[in-house]
């Protein structure tokens, strides 16, 4: 008999452009396209395997789910699960490592290039008839810049940080990193620096570290004041790494040139979030991981994780 499994947030992974066939072959699968937090407990009852993305699982909830033996987090981050409680309840928790590396690195540079080349702005001006109005073969609104020889500071040198570094190197940028890795273990074209030195030295700061108690609000006002007024900050990692009110203040006070992010502390943000009205703030709605290729890899790894659990040899276990 197949083990019973439920997917709580189907549209997080599959926009009707991919297939669940492999999972349906190995599990008795139930799929909910959308689930709210207050529906999680009821929808998880009776299932041995629960697949989730952003839904929180607490010790209290696990107490009420005696059949639950496996939580498959359909993402790399797993901070939504109380891992200590899961271990105490004998529940295995797995994640999906490194499936979106190239996609997130690509979006990181999409944001950088948008700011440095002002692609979005000029497209908008053309749509407004500005090119025809000016009557010249070319026009430039504001300033545009080259990436070559600019200094990029990468905070976190895991798989995504390394991918971003490789792209930056191809653009002939000077690559600096803040990392726990030894300087001798880094490529010859990468310079290891302290965190504060990175903020004061680099033209671009890009965040690629996990969200932990130690990294929460690591980008504080005291660090932002160290940045050059021409520098930009990129966040495709986690919104909580930023003190958002402090950043909005820094942007409006022109302590840095621009901020671009694919993540926010609360998603979606409340209308009161000061970044929504901040100067030179460019936001995307957490899409870095969501290319079709990355989602296909996610579903493949998820299926392999669950097949391995069923076979008695769970992989990518995080607790």
Catalytic residues: 238, 267, 286
Q: Among all chains, which residue has been given the structure tokens 């097949």?
A: 307
Structure tokens at 281: 């703030």
Q: How many CA atoms lie within 13 A of 154 on its CB side?
A: 30
Q: Are 97 and 76 in contact (CB under 8 A)?
A: yes
**What is the spatial order of strands in the sheet that 204-207 belongs to?**
190-192, 174-178, 151-155, 204-207, 232-235, 258-261, 281-283
CA torsion through residues 71, 74, 77, 79, sign: negative
Distances from the Cα of 262 to the Cα of 9, 96, 205, 272, 280, angstroms: 20, 19, 14, 18, 15
Q: Among all chains, which residue has been given the structure tokens 């996609």?
A: 103
Q: d(Cα 74, Cα 81) in Å, to the nearest integer?
A: 12
């Amino acid at each position: 008999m197949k083990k019973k499994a439920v997917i709580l947030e189907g549209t997080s992974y599959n926009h009707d452009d991919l297939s669940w066939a492999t999972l349906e072959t190995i599990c008795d699968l139930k799929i909910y396209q959308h689930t709210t937090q207050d529906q999680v407990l009821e929808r998880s009852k009776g299932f041995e395997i629960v697949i989730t993305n952003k839904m929180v699982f607490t010790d209290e909830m696990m107490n009420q789910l005696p059949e639950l033996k496996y939580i498959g987090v359909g993402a790399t981050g797993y901070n939504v699960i109380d891992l200590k409680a899961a271990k105490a309840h004998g529940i295995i928790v797995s994640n999906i490592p490194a499936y979106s590396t190239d996609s997130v690195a690509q979006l990181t540079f999409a944001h950088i290039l948008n700011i440095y080349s002002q692609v979005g702005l000029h497209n908008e001006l053309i749509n407004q008839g500005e090119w025809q109005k000016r009557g010249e073969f070319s026009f430039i609104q504001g300033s545009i810049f080259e990436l070559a020889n600019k200094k990029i500071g990468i905070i976190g040198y895991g798989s995504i940080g390394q991918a971003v570094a490789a792209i930056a190197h191809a653009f002939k940028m000077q690559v600096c990193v803040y990392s726990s890795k030894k300087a001798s273990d880094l490529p010859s074209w990468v310079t290891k620096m302290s965190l504060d030195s990175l903020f004061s030295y680099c033209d671009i700061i890009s965040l690629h570290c996990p969200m932990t108690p130690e990294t929460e609000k690591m980008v504080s006002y005291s660090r932002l004041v160290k940045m050059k007024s021409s520098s930009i900050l990129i966040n495709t990692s986690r919104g909580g790494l930023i003190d958002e009110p402090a950043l909005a203040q820094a942007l409006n006070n022109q302590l840095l040139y621009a901020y671009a992010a694919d993540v926010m502390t609360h998603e979606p943000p409340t209308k009161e979030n000061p970044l929504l009205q901040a100067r030179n703030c460019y936001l995307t709605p957490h899409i870095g991981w969501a290319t079709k290729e990355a989602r296909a890899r996610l579903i493949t790894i998820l299926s392999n994780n669950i097949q391995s659990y069923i076979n008695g040899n769970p992989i990518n276990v995080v607790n």
